[in-house]
Structure 1
Amino acid sequence: MTTTSPQVSAVSRVLSVPPAAPAEAAAYFASRLAFHTDVSDVHAALEAGEPGFVVVDSRSTPAWDQGHVPGAVHLPTALIPEQAADLLDPAVPVVVYCWGPGCDGATRAALALARLGYRVKEMLGGIEYWIREGFEVETWEGRERRPADPLTAPVGDGADCGC
């Protein structure tokens, strides 16, 4: 005698919660882009010369001294309430970064700036991905550039991820 077990539809964890409807997905992804940007887009805008925003490094002074985005304003998160008005123009959008994806420092800094009335985006990846993508950093000794990490950035002359 053979028994058959009822067929169980195997739903992957990916689809155990179905994807959102297209209109909902479009609204969500548009809102994400209103709050975040990435290091490649920030770098491209800075290289173009007139990005229309100011970059803020929200890390401590020792971290800033290790290397920061050239031209960034140093404004540690704890000092935002008392120093933002002296360092930033409220009419100019701010792009803020901290260490990297494992750090909420940029999120806290963005929140503090938004509460003060600044339009702000968080640079995803922080200084970690800025460096890993091979972009130049500035230190007290001058500027330096490390080779791009092929696990995080396209390598080679004119390399572009195409996104």
Structure 2
Amino acid sequence: MTIIDKLRQWFERHGGSIAHQNANRSTRSSPASDTPVDVVDLGSAFDAYQAGARFIDVREPNEWTEGHIAGAVHHPVDALETHPEVSVARDTPVVTYCAAGLRAARGAAALAANGYSNVKALQSGYADWHAAGYPVEHPDADQAG
């Protein structure tokens, strides 16, 4: 069983809603750490994409440059947790994503704790989105052609 399969099982057991718990940071509490986040599966995320939701890639810069969801904006999760502001209205539907779902949940929790009212985290990750044939961009390849 892969780590992604284990994460999916964990998300399913927790009813699609999680509270961000970041054991790698200091023990002081932050507003985002207690904010429940709705988790959305791949098909529902694509429905949201087609309906105009704003996608936020919370992966590291090197992951972003290897490819990302078409039209997404890039805000690495650590920066997003420090400055949870994105260039969309606070009631705009937003879906955060990463490679496997955990950073997406952290980013979504940071946004929700700071007034974004319609935020969801993609349960799976960019590789699953790409494998499903959904729209992606590859900055290096797109600039070369």
Tell me the TM-score normalised to structure 1 length.
Answer: 0.57
Pairwise CA distance, 1:29: 5.0
**Any conservation in 1 of the 2:96–2:120 contact (CA below 8 Å)?**
yes
Give the structure, 1 or 2, with the largest relative contact order (CA under 8 Å, sep 6 or more). 2
Is 2:77 the partner of 1:74?
no
Pairwise CA distance, 1:89: 1.6
Q: Secondary structure at the match of 1:85?
A: coil
Change (3 A) 1:138 1:30: closer
Q: 1:117 aligns with which of 110, 115, 127?
A: 115
Q: Secondary structure at the match of 1:99?
A: coil
Aligned length: 110
Change (3 A) 1:83 1:31: closer
**Any conservation in 2 of the 1:68–1:137 contact (CA below 8 Å)?**
yes
Provide structure 2 residue ranges, at least 5 long, that are not aligned to the other structure.
1-13, 19-36
Pairwise CA distance, 1:82: 5.5
Give the match for residue 7 of structure 1: none
Provide structure 1 residue ranges, at least 5 long, that are not aligned to the other structure.
1-27, 144-163
Pairwise CA distance, 1:58: 0.5
Output the CA distance in 1 between the equivalents of 2:67 and 2:47.
19
**Any conservation in 2 of the 1:81–1:116 contact (CA below 8 Å)?**
no
Q: 2:104 aligns with which of 103, 106, 114?
A: 106
Is 2:38 the partner of 1:35?
yes
Output the CA distance in 1 between the equivalents of 2:79 and 2:107.
10
Output the CA distance in 2 between the equivalents of 1:46 and 1:99.
18
Report percent identity of matched pairs.
30
Q: Deviations over 1:81-137 (max 9, x none)?
A: 565435232121211111025xx1111111211121113111111112102212231
More helix by share: 2
Output the CA distance in 1 between the equivalents of 2:62 and 2:15.
35
What is the root-mean-square deviation in Å for CA atoms of aligned residues? 2.6
Amino acid in the other structure paired with 1:78: D
Change (3 A) 1:38 1:82: same
Structure (1 or 2) with the larger CA radius of gyration: 1
Q: Secondary structure at the match of 2:69?
A: coil
Matches within 5 A, 1:73-152: 73-81=73-81, 83-101=83-101, 104-119=102-117, 120-140=119-139, 141-142=141-142
Is 2:44 the partner of 1:46?
no
